Amino acid sequence: MSSGAAPDLRRRRLLRALAAAPTLGATARPSPAAEAAAATAAPAATRPIELVEVARGLEHPWSLAFLSDGRMLVTERPGRLRIVMPDGRLSAPLPGVPRVQASGQGGLLDVALGPGFARDRTVFLSFSEPGAVGARTAVARAEFVDGAAPVLRDAHVIFGQKDRTGGGNHFGSRLVFARDGTLFVTLGDRYSERDRAQTLDNHYGKIVRIRADGSVPPDNPFVNRAGALPEIHSYGHRNVQGAALHPVTGQLWTHEHGPQGGDEVNIESAGANYGWPVITFGREYVTGLRIGEGTERADVTPPLWQWTPSIAPSGMAFCTSDRYPGWRGSLFVGSLKFRLLSRLELDGDRIVREERLLGDLGERVRDVRQGPDGLLYLLTDEADGRLLRLAPTG
């Protein structure tokens, strides 16, 4: 699960990469290089691709998972789980979904199939779980019972943030299974609790690693540290809404929102501190002043890439197919703010270039996934949200 490089070694590598990299975006830079090193963003090249509408009529869809027969499970933030048929028809909402607090950014969020889904039909959902004094990010496990009227059976919470907080912001909430079967859960700082992202006695601004039954793996980095919650795998995050395993290394890559600036792409490493809100490129919303004490510190893992101003990233997928010429190995990130798709070109564990695609889409991109057919699929976060397929035409 570790990135395999100490923070200062990673920093030296990234600085060397900056010197060798092609011209980069004024809104997207490798870090921790100085801000003055950035130049102009690479415009999108003309590509033989088109957007194909697979389905519409989804209310603020958040995530999707592919079934083996061409159907897809899609979550809607108000609290519904639907099946999208290959021809685009939507099922009725599946019974058995846990009750959610659908307020602000909260609601029914990520969906992931368990590693043994073909055998046990286990599905995992993340959601904002209501309580007497606010909500918390929680993860439920359930059995997907297929048939003429599909249903979720025996949905029960296997993990929940230690504390509940008022307000409707920063639930994080991506679910990613590692190759060893453990589950990564990304947790936001809930906005009002940002300072607690730096302490280990809470789940705010953390990525946790649990087993599929909710128990704690014994090799988690803080298992034996007094005062630390044993589920924590890394800390100092703001609001991670994109996460995916690197197809070659198996490492967890993530991205997170910064305020106004400082959206980050990171390689997640066991026990690492990612800085928020002490070390960040972000600025306060009202005053525009810098947050924290700077953008670098020896004990903080620097981002591979950062966007200033923020693009509001959401969704993340590696392209491992040859369906799009020249895109194999690229990392794709959706943008809520600019309503586009960002393609990040990689050289090993370095990001060397950004290409911005679908700038005329006009819809917030909430999720990005590669399907079993090797094609990329997008969800748009709208009241009349769509499921789109990026189809090559050449």
**pLDDT tens digits, one per residue of 331-383:** 999 999 999 999 999 999 999 999 999 999 999 999 999 999 999 999 999 99
Burial class of 133 by CB neighbour count within 10 A (0 to 12, 13 to 18, 19+)? exposed
Q: Are 174 and 240 in contact (CB under 8 A)?
A: yes
Nearest residue to 175 via CA among 88, 131, 115? 115
**pTM, two decimal places:** 0.90
Catalytic residue among 170, 203, 237, 255: 170
**What tens digit of pLDDT does each residue of 195-240 get?**
999 999 999 999 999 999 999 999 999 999 999 999 999 999 999 9
Of residues 304 and 40, more confidently modeled: 304
Residue 23 CB coordination number (10 Å): 10
Average pLDDT over residues 310-322: 98
Q: Does the annotation count 170 as an active-site position?
A: yes
Percent of the residues in the chain that have a pLDDT greater than 70, as a whole number: 88
Question: Could you give the CA distance from residue 253 to residue 269 in angstroms, rounded to a whole number?
Answer: 9
- Helices of type H across 245-298: none
**CATH class of residue range 7-392:** mainly beta
Average pLDDT over residues 28-41: 39
For the record, the structure tokens of 311 come out as 């693009």
**What tens digit of pLDDT does each residue of 144-178 get?**
999 999 999 999 999 999 999 999 999 999 999 99
Task: Please determine, for residue 25, whether its predicted confidence score (pLDDT) is greater than 50.
Answer: no
Task: Please determine, for residue 47, whether its predicted confidence score (pLDDT) is greater than 80.
Answer: no
Task: Please determine, for residue 10, whether its predicted confidence score (pLDDT) is greater than 60.
Answer: no
- Which 8-state DSSP code applies to residue 19? H
Q: What is the mean pLDDT of the chain?
A: 90
Task: Please determine, for residue 387, whether its predicted confidence score (pLDDT) is greater than 90.
Answer: yes
How many CA within 13 A on the CB side of residue 53? Answer: 11
DSSP string, 78-132: TTEEEEE-TTSPBPPPPTTPPP---STT-SEEEEEE-TTHHHH-EEEEEEEEEET
- Which H or E run contains 17? helix 7-20
Nearest residue to 193 via CA among 161, 226, 153? 161
Task: Please determine, for residue 29, whether its predicted confidence score (pLDDT) is greater than 60.
Answer: no
